[in-house]
Amino acid sequence: MRLSLRFIVPLVLALGAIAYGVVPLVDELTLKWFVRDLEIRKSLIATAVQEPLVELLTDKARDKVRLQRVQDFFTRILQDERLFALGFCDSAGKLVYRTPTLPPDVVCRESGLPLEDAGRVVKRGSSALHVGASPLMVDGKRIGELLIVHDMSFVERRSADTKKYIVYLFAAIGAVIALITVVIAELSFRGWMAGIKALIRGQSLALSPEPKSRELRPIARDLEAMVRELEGERRMRDESQISWTPENLRNILREDLAGDQILIVSNREPYIHVRKDGRVDVQRPASGLVTAMEPVMRACSGTWIAHGSGSADRDSVDAQDHIMVPPEKPAYRIRRVWLSKEEEAGYYYGFANEGLWPLCHIAHTRPVFRISDWEHYQTVNRRFAEAVAKESHTGNPIVLVQDYHLALLPRLIRERLPQATIITFWHIPWPNPEAFGVCPWRAELLEGMLGSSILGFHTQVHCNNFFDTVDRTLEARVDRETSSIHFGGDPTEVRRYPISIEWPPVPLAAQPPVPECRASVRAALGLAKDVRLGIGVDRLDYTKGILERFAAVERLLELDPHWIGRFSFVQLAAPSRSSIEEYQSLDARVRAAAMRINARFGSKGYEPIVLKIEHHEADQVYTYYRASDVCCVSSLHDGMNLVAKEFVAARDDERGVLILSQFTGAARELSEALIVNPYDTEQCAAALRAALSMPPDEQRHRMRSMRSLIQEFNVYRWAGRMLLDAARMRNRRRVTGPRDAANVIDLRRA
Ligand code: G6P
């Protein structure tokens, strides 16, 4: 309203000023018109009276009678309300007849003046008279001149009326303009506000449904840049200040992603229903991926699409292959995808685990690539893509694609849901271009992955390796400065997102105090109370360095025999991928190594290596962590390794020592661990010795530091950062609109 007033007041003043200037102009103009009218009138009167007047003037009657007749004639003519006076001048210029009303200063012209004389206006007090003269002709001879005086008071009256109407007119125009202005200003203001609000929400003006916000387009870019800058600042501030919790994650989903649908896709499912002794058990698989993603899903409540691999999985789902989990407190649902035995063999055991797994891990196991496996891999990726399309309620869900089993999936989803935001996370290392180059379908895999909006790795080294690999394999534009790769369509942002665990870990809540854990584990293992304990928790996988770990234990006992009988190393090894020969052979070698070492250093009631090749639930694993003095993570190559983080998280007593392979992603974060090269047995043995003799204060100091890091950089932050980046990307897409097809260079593979 104030804005409108600010506009209307000057408008009224301007119109007043215009009216003030226009009125005299109109006065002058109308006067001219009236004078011209009176001239015409004068001529008409002169013409009309010519004949009777000449008759009267030439009448032979006496002068007096003639005078009287002319006077009467003049008086009759004066009946006309505008005619004020008449006079007649003879040819000598003498006023011979006149009406009494003829002003004395109206005199005859001298003879010989030009006949056609324009009338003149003579002021009479507040009014005016128009005095005109018209020659009277008889037989082409001028016998005199008729003076015709018009009263111009009507001009005054009309002029006053005109002025009044002009003022009214301007007032009316002013009012109408003001009204229209207020309405337009109000509407424009709303349009601008809507436009600015849309910009702040991150929507594009180009796509804005508000046509009124078009006026903002010239400044839209500046506004957008400002909004982005502020958002960036806010995010950085938020990220550094937030202590990341499930609630934060839910807030991001609610506020930054407006409750958009979240779909997670992975091969491994978080809950497996297995038939055991006639009843159905629910198992949590040993998988870093599941450990990380499960708490995220509990917070996000989306749908997790995964292979239904359990023997009782089919019996547990509804007609849509859905099941709500966790069983004790359902929070999200699993959508199971079914595979035939052949498909599982080719896609999972074959291409994923005999091909890609050894390809990406430098563990000196040769990758095997078979065309039949590749075909199954493609078929199964397509099946997952169909499931994603089916589960998607909107055209633009956020799809979190997990790991190397589904490298083709991002592009397959992109083809089905072009507006989806696809975040792919690669949980394992990415090798250098030479190593990756041995894969016969390297280009197809990369093309598939580059269907992602965001592609995440644990470390910058993996990101760099990926850039190098794409550079070497595809004709794509790799922009390291913006960490993005352009390969037709929207670019893929390649970023480092070090994965983590939930904080505090759920299994910790039910744990007894550390002394109780120590006692119960030792009792369960039949070990003396004071035996120092080492722990290793892994899938039985050749990348985990289990044999190297055993070698270090053996070396310790060799070098420091006083630990014989006083130190045991418990290895919990979850059976994994056991249909694969390499894994079967590892199983055998691990068992043999444990037996050999136990035979060498063991005695009755004492085993230096306690090998437990079986599935352990998280609660049991946490009890082992808490019961141990040292945890050994000796992976030969590992994307992150969450066992290291779990061990630290389990030790709320701030005791225990972590020995950590330098070839894990975790080693880049947990620098207070004893970092070792697992291939260096001497170094590992020395680390064991150092760990077993580390003073409690030093243990506390190291643990505290690692615990605060994991607490801060927990899995909610990991997921939150990816989702915030996805939100930013979706906002930017709304602002800039979809990429113009004309600007997209269709880059074909090399
Ligand atoms: C690694 C992979 C995961 C996988 C896990 C367990 O952590 O990155 O994708 O789930 O191993 O392996 P499995 O073959 O049993 O799923």
The whole-angstrom separation of Cα 93 and Cα 147 is 11
pLDDT of 739 > 60? The answer is: no
Least confident piece of the model among 236-250, 270-284, 454-468, 577-591: 236-250
**pLDDT confidence of residue 156:** 77
**pLDDT confidence of residue 134:** 85
| Residue range 457-477, pLDDT digits in tens | 999 999 999 999 999 999 999
Instruction: Say yes or no: CB of residue 580 within 6 Å of ligand 1.
Output: no
In angstroms and rounded to an integer, the radius of gyration of the C-alpha atoms of the chain is 51
Ligand 1 centre from 96 Cα, in Å?
133
Ligand 1 centre from 403 Cα, in Å?
8
Instruction: Say yes or no: CB of residue 287 within 6 Å of ligand 1.
Output: yes
**pLDDT confidence of residue 131:** 87
**pLDDT confidence of residue 425:** 98
How many CA atoms does the CB half-sphere of 683 hold within 13 Å?
12
pLDDT of 115 > 60? The answer is: no
**pLDDT confidence of residue 83:** 85
**pLDDT confidence of residue 743:** 38
Which of 384, 401, 405, 427 maximizes ligand 1 atoms within 8 Å of its Cβ, making it the mutation to test the pocket?
427
Residue 200: in which H helix or E strand, if any?
helix 153-201
Q: Which has more pLDDT, 496 or 221?
A: 496
User: What atom of ligand 1 comes closest to residue 428's alpha carbon?
Assistant: 8
Range list of β-strands (E), 344-472: 398-402, 421-425, 454-457
**pLDDT confidence of residue 229:** 59
Query: In terms of Cα–Cα distance, which of 282, 285, 355 is closest to 323?
Result: 282
Beta bridge partners of 262: 398
Least confident piece of the model among 82-96, 601-615, 646-660, 720-734: 82-96
The whole-angstrom separation of Cα 313 and Cα 507 is 24
The whole-angstrom separation of Cα 509 and Cα 520 is 17
Query: In terms of Cα–Cα distance, which of 577, 607, 579, 575 is closest to 594?
Result: 607
- Identify the residue whose C-alpha is closest to ligand 1 atom 11: 287
Distances (CA, A) of 355 to 96, 352, 367, 429, 464: 136, 6, 5, 14, 22
The tokens describing 406, both together, are 């589904």
Instruction: Say yes or no: CB of residue 407 within 6 Å of ligand 1.
Output: no
Size of the chain in residues = 750
- Identify the residue whose C-alpha is closest to ligand 1 atom 6: 287
Mean pLDDT on 257-261: 89
Q: How confident is the model at residue 117 (pLDDT cuts 50, 70, 90)?
A: low
Ligand 1 centre from 615 Cα, in Å?
14
pLDDT of 23 > 90? The answer is: no
**pLDDT confidence of residue 681:** 98
Task: Kindly state the percentage of the chain with pLDDT values over 70.
Answer: 90
Ligand 1 centre from 289 Cα, in Å?
6
Which of 265, 266, 267, 268 maximizes ligand 1 atoms within 8 Å of its Cβ, making it the mutation to test the pocket?
268
- Identify the residue whose C-alpha is closest to ligand 1 atom 10: 287
**pLDDT confidence of residue 235:** 60
**pLDDT confidence of residue 727:** 94
Instruction: Say yes or no: CB of residue 213 within 6 Å of ligand 1.
Output: no
User: What atom of ligand 1 comes closest to residue 352's alpha carbon?
Assistant: 14
| Residue range 224-246, pLDDT digits in tens | 667 665 665 566 555 666 679 99
Query: In terms of Cα–Cα distance, which of 408, 350, 357, 356 is closest to 379?
Result: 408
Ligand 1 centre from 193 Cα, in Å?
51
| Residue range 282-339, pLDDT digits in tens | 999 999 999 999 999 999 999 999 999 999 999 999 999 999 999 999 999 999 999 9
Cα-Cα-Cα-Cα dihedral sign, residues 320, 326, 330, 332: negative
The whole-angstrom separation of Cα 588 and Cα 575 is 12
**pLDDT confidence of residue 203:** 58
- Identify the residue whose C-alpha is closest to ligand 1 atom 16: 268
Q: Contact 413/388 with Cβ under 8 angstroms?
A: yes
User: What atom of ligand 1 comes closest to residue 404's alpha carbon?
Assistant: 9
Least confident piece of the model among 53-67, 164-178, 218-232, 717-731: 218-232
Task: Kindly state the percentage of the chain with pLDDT values over 90.
Answer: 63
Query: In terms of Cα–Cα distance, which of 272, 269, 259 is closest to 305?
Result: 269
Q: Which has more pLDDT, 383 or 60?
A: 383
Ligand 1 centre from 416 Cα, in Å?
27
Instruction: Say yes or no: CB of residue 493 within 6 Å of ligand 1.
Output: no
Instruction: Say yes or no: CB of residue 576 within 6 Å of ligand 1.
Output: yes
**pLDDT confidence of residue 513:** 98
The whole-angstrom separation of Cα 62 and Cα 346 is 146
- Rounded to two decimals, the pTM is 0.71
**pLDDT confidence of residue 740:** 40
| Residue range 676-721, pLDDT digits in tens | 999 999 999 999 999 999 999 999 999 999 999 999 999 999 999 9
Instruction: Say yes or no: CB of residue 555 within 6 Å of ligand 1.
Output: no
Instruction: Say yes or no: CB of residue 268 within 6 Å of ligand 1.
Output: yes
| Residue range 367-425, pLDDT digits in tens | 999 999 999 999 999 999 999 999 999 999 999 999 999 999 999 999 999 999 999 99
**pLDDT confidence of residue 623:** 98
pLDDT of 206 > 60? The answer is: no
Distances (CA, A) of 431 to 30, 359, 461: 96, 7, 9
The whole-angstrom separation of Cα 271 and Cα 150 is 113
The whole-angstrom separation of Cα 298 and Cα 291 is 12
Q: How confident is the model at residue 124 (pLDDT cuts 50, 70, 90)?
A: confident
Mean pLDDT on 77-103: 84
Instruction: Say yes or no: CB of residue 656 within 6 Å of ligand 1.
Output: no
